[in-house]
Chain A
Amino acid sequence: MVKCFCNILILLMIAACLSCNDEAMAPDLDYDSEVVVFGLFLITEKENVQQKAIRLERSYKVTEKVPPSQKDRAIKDALVFVESKDKRVQFEYLFDNVYLDNADELQLLPGELYKLDITLTNGHKITAECIMPDRPKILSPAAGQSVAAYQPLTVTWEKARFAHRYEIAIDENFDGFQVSMFSASDQEDLYSFLFAGPDRYTVTVASLDQNYYDYLRSRSDREPISHINGALGVFGAMAYDRERFIAMAL
């Protein structure tokens, strides 16, 4: 029995030693590149400033080098259309990875349904829809208002029509303090403002459609929540209001 044990031990030692120096190699797994869309329709705090940009790129195999410039990553020869209730507008490739409504034919209107229709040169179709939310109105902190530094900050706003959720962002104008959070309400207490010292700040409250909200909240290595057929990414809409205020030491 003991001899048997010793023999087993020696054999195991040899077998194990032979395998102990395996250097782990990255497994070579197949991956077909996908189309990545970032289409965000935006109504800014100024009523007449709207952004309508569709970015088209492709994804890469994990072992590949990613071209550093957007232009080199772009899919440039796609047919990109966006259709509203009464208009179908072609977005043209202009620079980097961006397709734009160059003639500014499409008006972004709250409650309006927009349909994205992309056709690649190989015939691949990408479709998506989004509804433009209305702009929220920040009630507090009001423009120029002074608030207490190092204290929780209460942000309130008037709810916007067609908004699925809100994103509230605070940015320090001349330094690095930045926080953001989501809300379904019309008021949030930002406890992270306990870290914010005396300075000038900007508060932004953005109403998000469901597509962009789901895209933002699925920021992890899991499968992102995408509402696009035939591609990865988002075709969403957002409208925001913004105010500047001052935080002062008590």
Chain B
Amino acid sequence: MAQSAKSEASISGFVRDSENGESMPWVNVLIKNTVLGAATNDVGYYIIQHVAPGDYTLVFTMMGYERHEQSVQVTTDKVVKVDVALKPAVVELEGVVKTAERARFEREVEISTSTLTARQLSTLPMLAEADVFRTLQLLPGVVTRSDFSSQLYVRGGSPDENLILLDGVSVYNPFHLLGLFSTFNTDAIKEVEFMTGGFPAEYGGRLSSVLSITNNEGNAKEFAGSVNISMLSAKATLQGPIPRGSYLISARRTYFDQIFKGTRYDFPYFFYDLQGKINFDLGHDHRLTLSGFYGDDKLDYDLESDDEEDDLAVGIDWLWGNRTTALKWRWLIHPNLYSEVLLTRSNFALNLDLDIISTNAVNLKVENGILDRSIKADLSYFGIAEHGIKFGVSQSWLDFKYAFGISGNQLLDYETSPALFAAYAQDQWQFSNLLSVRLGARLEHYSIGQYTTLSPRLGLKYRLYDNFALKGSFGLYHQFLTTAASDDQNFNFIDLWFPLTEQYQPLNAVHYVGGVEWWLPYDLIFTCEFYHKTMANLLEINEYSDFNNTTDDFFVGDGQATGFEILLKKSTGRFNGWIGYTYSRTQRHINALTFYPKHDRRHNLNLVLNHDLGRSWNLGFVFTCGSGTPYTPVLGKYVRYSWDFHRNEVDDDIYNRMGSKNSQRYPIYHRMDLSLRKRWRLWGLENYPYVQIINVYNRKNIFLYFWDHDTNPSKFITVPMFPILPTIGMEINF
């Protein structure tokens, strides 16, 4: 928000899209023939302060929208409210109006931050259908371990170090199909903001990154909808106005269980998710938003042995999923003071019910759950010239449950309920025309062990030239929850979250980031960032934990990650996309071992292009290439003996003799994906049939190596990742 002069008068308001009523962040608002101006914030609110009395013309510009001018009369010490609705432009005028990215560049101290729009998500080739996490994997600084996982390893961090927020609510296990797909339905998404380092004080509780997903608010002007059928799922989204507000509802369900029902390919698994949002305006200054996300995976499988002598039958009833609900109250207390109060409930639950029926019926039950109930208040104050102050508090009450029972006998029933309090304050200070500083601190208190931590944050931006800025940030981060994942695991189907117990210190990380951002002709943005991150008190599960000893479940260690990232990006025009290169070096020191973790991919190149071919054809292209990730080689083998009580003699088996941990690397990884979409009007509907091809040239990227000792000599086996996978789908908008 910009300000000048000495008057106390100001102009403020909200900017929305005229077609659907969605709030519009990062719209440039200028007072014509003056230097006064501002940009809208993430809910479309702007304020221009210290405007001298007089008659003015406000100019609203945003890429993809028609320029809007509005006359306004300002009298002494008055707040003038000007809400506008911008009309989408028929023809995009490249380079004439500012993009949201340009507005952010000019007004914000942002570092290591990327935003993705719904359009970017939908036009890139992905496995079966658009996926947020798989698109994020193409950004610099993000590494994936395999095609089979959509987990994000950010700047050397582990997936549990990413704070994942859906409309402000933490989501703990945001995956479907055991990690193959992310849980967020892209048809409902408005914008994705991803911070890979140096994030500000308003965010905490995780060491590596913040992923904030904002869903659409719903069309406040007219009823609209879309249907999308891919080879994975069918999706439907409906949105429309309600008195003084809007609603959106979006649902998705996989359907292969229904198609193959009763055939030899019958596999009774499906997942679904349902997202909804209702906005209700209580006058100009108040808005209530109720949003929810409900998604489950369900496997209901019965297996009977074909052997007539063997009466074995197994029944699996496995249900896991997330449920989040949020109630947000947005209150413009004063034109200079904007607040949001958020009540949230996030629940992850896993229930496995396994019946084993042979001569006896045995039932196994496994339960795991996290319930996070939080209240959060964030306030933004614009009343001090050259300062944008944000502060807030939050309190979370967490319940963790782990239970295991056999045929009514409860072997494990453990519950723990930590609480987490946080308070933060940050100020973005326009120190001079060239230098902006974002200073902040976050205080956190974790009830188990009574740990209190203070995390300072600093961001700097120095605009050396109009189109060139130097940036830097520093931050200390703490984390109190972790997952019991081991670096040696090749598959990680579902994360089990654990709150830290008294014996473990909070995990912490220090980020140092520096870089440049350079706006080139043709709206090309070049960024280069260097980072160094140190991590301490990291936990890794001890696979040799002595079950009678509760103090050796985890190894405690530390780590560091260093690297640089180069990104050349074009967000506008018929030909857009990005080229990103990352060099990173990640090390861990755990249990007296220094090693490169499995996600230490040294070089990573991503080429992401989207081209409007004309005549309503659109081509999406992704090429990704990375150096091999580490693995622990099998060097030798030996016969391992043990005493067999049944036979009263020694038993033998062949075991691997492993080399140094993660001392070898898999071959180079590369893959090319293509997608082709066509816009096609039929019966007044907008149809988008699409074809996607994953791994166009069928590269056999290696997932893992192992040795089969059932043959002598042992046989070397390679397990490849995705082969060539063509898929088709259709999106219909109405």
Is the CB–CB distance between A16 and B697 below 8 Å? Answer: yes
Contacts of B707 in A (CB 8 A): 62
What's the nearest-Cβ distance from chain A to residue B230, in Å? 24
Q: A24-B700, A191-B411 in contact; A220/B362 too (CB < 8 A)? A: no
Binds A, one of B50-58, B152-160, B238-246, B539-547: B539-547
Answer yes or no: B451 CB below 8 A from chain A CBs.
no
Query: CB within 8 Å of B: which of A4-26?
Result: 5, 8-9, 12-13, 16-17, 19-22, 24-26
Contacts of B548 in A (CB 8 A): 165, 182-185
Answer yes or no: B713 CB below 8 A from chain A CBs.
yes
What's the nearest-Cβ distance from chain B to residue A87, in Å? 25
Q: Contact check: which of B362, B547, B575, B699 meets A16 at CB < 8 Å?
A: B699
Interface string of A167-185 (1 = CB under 8 A from B): 0010100000010101111
Contacts of A219 in B (CB 8 A): 640, 642, 655
Contacts of B641 in A (CB 8 A): 38, 40, 55, 233
Is the CB–CB distance between B718 and A24 below 8 Å? Answer: yes
Is the CB–CB distance between A66 and B699 below 8 Å? Answer: no
Contacts of A79 in B (CB 8 A): none
Interface string of A137-157 (1 = CB under 8 A from B): 000000000000110100000
Is the CB–CB distance between B702 and A24 below 8 Å? Answer: yes
Contacts of B607 in A (CB 8 A): 8, 12
Q: In the assembly, what is the distance between CA of A241 and CA of B514, in Å?
A: 67
Majority DSSP secondary structure for residues of A touching B? mixed
Answer yes or no: A216 CB below 8 A from chain B CBs.
yes
Is the CB–CB distance between A178 and B646 below 8 Å? Answer: yes
In the complex, the number of residue pairs spanning A and B with C-beta atoms less than 8 Å apart equals 164
Q: Contact check: which of A2, A24, A34, A220 meets B636 at CB < 8 Å?
A: A34
Is the CB–CB distance between A62 and B643 below 8 Å? Answer: no
Answer yes or no: A68 CB below 8 A from chain B CBs.
yes
Answer yes or no: A103 CB below 8 A from chain B CBs.
no
Query: CB within 8 Å of A: which of B423-471?
Result: none
Interface string of B679-722 (1 = CB under 8 A from A): 00000000000000000111110100101000011101010000
- For A214, give the chain B residue with the smallest CB separation: B544
Q: Contact check: which of A42, A59, A149, A233 meets B637 at CB < 8 Å?
A: A59
Q: In the assembly, what is the distance between CA of A169 and CA of B668, in Å?
A: 48
Q: A19-B670, A217-B544 in contact; A195/B638 too (CB < 8 A)? A: no
Query: CB within 8 Å of A: which of B616-654?
Result: 621, 623, 632-643, 645-646, 650, 654
Binds A, one of B254-262, B275-283, B352-360: B352-360
How many positions in chain A have a CB within 8 Å of any CB in the partner chain?
75
Q: A24-B705, A24-B718, A65-B712 in contact; A16/B670 too (CB < 8 A)? A: yes
Contacts of B643 in A (CB 8 A): 40, 42, 238
Answer yes or no: B520 CB below 8 A from chain A CBs.
no
Is the CB–CB distance between B409 and A191 below 8 Å? Answer: yes
What's the nearest-Cβ distance from chain B to residue A231, in Å? 10
Query: CB within 8 Å of A: which of B291-344?
Result: none
- For A40, give the chain B residue with the smallest CB separation: B643
Binds A, one of B104-112, B183-191, B657-665: B657-665
Q: Contact check: which of A17, A30, A66 meets B712 at CB < 8 Å?
A: A66
How many positions in chain B have a CB within 8 Å of any CB in the partner chain?
60
Is the CB–CB distance between A16 and B672 below 8 Å? Answer: yes
Q: Contact check: which of A29, A178, A222 meets B664 at CB < 8 Å?
A: A29
- For A178, give the chain B residue with the smallest CB separation: B646
Answer yes or no: A92 CB below 8 A from chain B CBs.
no
Contacts of A124 in B (CB 8 A): none
Is the CB–CB distance between A2 and B639 below 8 Å? Answer: no
Contacts of B356 in A (CB 8 A): 195
Q: In the assembly, what is the distance between CA of A24 and CA of B718, in Å?
A: 7
Contacts of A63 in B (CB 8 A): 713-714
- For A152, give the chain B residue with the smallest CB separation: B409
Answer yes or no: A211 CB below 8 A from chain B CBs.
no
Q: A13-B672, A59-B636, A184-B548 in contact; A20/B658 too (CB < 8 A)? A: no
Q: A22-B700, A194-B406 in contact; A60/B638 too (CB < 8 A)? A: yes
Answer yes or no: B656 CB below 8 A from chain A CBs.
yes
Is the CB–CB distance between B488 and A195 below 8 Å? Answer: no
Answer yes or no: A204 CB below 8 A from chain B CBs.
yes
What's the nearest-Cβ distance from chain A to residue B699, in Å? 5
Answer yes or no: B667 CB below 8 A from chain A CBs.
yes
Answer yes or no: A73 CB below 8 A from chain B CBs.
yes
Closest 6 CB pairs of A and B: A184-B548, A59-B638, A26-B716, A31-B635, A38-B641, A24-B718
Measuring CB to CB, which residues of chain A are less than 8 angstroms from any residue of chain B? 1-2, 5, 8-9, 12-13, 16-17, 19-22, 24-27, 29-31, 33-34, 36, 38, 40, 42, 55, 57-66, 68, 73, 149-150, 152, 165, 169, 171, 178, 180, 182-185, 189, 191, 194-195, 197, 202, 204, 206, 215-225, 232-233, 238, 240, 242
A-B contact pairs, 23 of them (CB 8 A): A2-B611, A5-B611, A13-B696, A16-B670, A16-B672, A22-B667, A24-B700, A24-B705, A26-B705, A29-B664, A31-B659, A38-B641, A55-B641, A55-B650, A62-B636, A62-B707, A62-B714, A150-B360, A183-B548, A191-B411, A197-B360, A219-B640, A232-B638
Measuring CB to CB, which residues of chain B are less than 8 angstroms from any residue of chain A? 356, 358-360, 362, 406-407, 409, 411, 488, 543-544, 546-548, 575, 607, 609, 611, 621, 623, 632-643, 645-646, 650, 654-659, 664, 667-668, 670, 672, 696-700, 702, 705, 707, 712-714, 716, 718
